[in-house]
Amino acid sequence: MRRILVAVDSTEVAREAARVALELGGWVGAQVMLVHVLPASVAEGETADFAAFERACEDYARGLLEELRQSTGRSGPPTSIAVLHGEPAVAVSKAAEAEDVDLVIVGTRTRGALARTLLGSVADELLRSCPKPVMVVPETGRKARVRHEEPEVEAAFALPKPSGVPG
């Protein structure tokens, strides 16, 4: 595993997904790319106030990503950040393919089936459409752990995908 992409927003579960990605990246020696997705720009031809609002959103996203990157400290894996634009699942899928990542990590909040059906879920959409393997970090009351003492975990990440399996 060489590269991991983790999609984050300002939720706690997204921060947990970033923590898992950074821990896993440090363990397997992979670079971690932190991304945040903003809506596609609609400011062309709009007022200066709207353009200023978009710049503020971009600054907020970069600040969020920098904060997460700084949380790794000097001992963490190499990290990069990117602010993407568009529909979240589409933008993340395109970036995963363009950056040739080996794994996409995303957090998901616990919702009922009706809310998921009506509102959708970026994690659900990524699982269906992303061309790369996706790891979903669920919302829980405790932190997910990356186990270092199990050699079969490292071997599982090294296995090639069986032919005919999408993503």
Count CA within 13 A, CB hemisphere, residue 54.
15
Comparison of pLDDT for 157 and 80, the residue scoring more = 80
Q: What is the pLDDT of residue 162?
A: 46
Q: What is the pLDDT of residue 70?
A: 84
What mean pLDDT, rounded, does the chain reach? 80
Question: What is the phi/psi pair of residue 112, to 5°?
Answer: -75, 165
| Cα–Cα dist 94/97, whole Å | 5
Give the tokens for residue 148.
């270092």
Q: What is the pLDDT of residue 161?
A: 47
Percent of the chain with pLDDT over 70: 70
What would you measure as the largest C-alpha separation in the chain, in angstroms?
57
23 alpha-carbon distance from chain centroid: 14
Q: What is the pLDDT of residue 45?
A: 56
Strand order in the sheet with 134-138: 79-85, 31-38, 3-7, 103-108, 134-138
Q: What is the pLDDT of residue 19?
A: 92
Amino acid of residue 78 = P
Q: What is the pLDDT of residue 46?
A: 65
Q: What is the pLDDT of residue 79?
A: 92
Within a 10 A sphere around the Cβ of 155, how many other Cβ atoms? 9
pLDDT tens, position by position, 8-58 = 998 898 999 999 999 999 999 999 999 999 988 755 556 677 778 888 999
46 alpha-carbon distance from chain centroid: 31
Q: What is the pLDDT of residue 55?
A: 87
pTM of the model: 0.76
Q: Mean of the pLDDT values across residues 109-125?
A: 64
Contacts 24+ apart (CB under 8 A), 46-49: none
| pLDDT at 83 exceeding the cut of 70 | yes
Q: What is the pLDDT of residue 129?
A: 93
